[in-house]
Chain A
Amino acid sequence: GENVEQHPSTLSVQEGDSAVIKCTYSDSASNYFPWYKQELGKGPQLIIDIRSNVGEKKDQRIAVTLNKTAKHFSLHITETQPEDSAVYFCAAMINQAGTALIFGKGTTLSVSS
């Protein structure tokens, strides 16, 4: 089955710096890759996603890149702010019935001002 590895497990940056979180997946049939942000005491919140027919997607300060050949995808956050501090999860999904999201272990991002 699918396996998703996420790195780093913790990341500390200064306000205004960029943050990059990387994930690799094992199943080449995966074609949907969402990113979730989870704040303390809350459920995961979908922040951006990318499908396999796209190499890059951007939404304001966040962007996701996908390299299907290497089977890895990354989340980029620019101009980080203290409110970006949270746990970020990547996930992968195979586009067929009977499948679900497989999550990475998460990255705790701390942005200090």
Chain B
Amino acid sequence: DSGVTQTPKHLITATGQRVTLRCSPRSGDLSVYWYQQSLDQGLQFLIQYYNGEERAKGNILERFSAQQFPDLHSELNLSSLELGDSALYFCASSPLSGAANEQFFGPGTRLTVL
């Protein structure tokens, strides 16, 4: 158990809908990263927040957004969902940002778009 929690574990929804994925980092970690894992693209970095502020952006679609709240939990919002958004979404946390800090992954949320 990494100490990172994610909810829900599974999410099934329809195209065009909007969903919210939630992540609670390990106690004391200030940085949260979101990754998408699909069979064809592998593990891809989406976005990072550090202590409430966006710190880095990867291959995140404009339909996707995220935020980190004062209690340090983070939410990833996915809107206007398409079939191709079906994937595993992981959150990872680390104590700091930028420097080579170890990232610990949560168990993931499996999103299925029908």
Contacts and interface: CB of A to CB of B under 8 A. Distances in A.
Interface residues of B, number: 23
B52 interface: no
B11 interface: no
Contacts of A105: 42
A42 B2 CA distance: 11
A21 to B, nearest CB: 15
Contacts of B90: 43-44
Contacts of B104: 46
Contacts of A43: 2, 4, 90, 105-108
Interface of A: 31-32, 34, 36, 42-46, 49, 51, 89, 93, 95-106
Interface of B: 2, 4, 33, 42-45, 48, 55-56, 58, 90, 97-100, 102-108
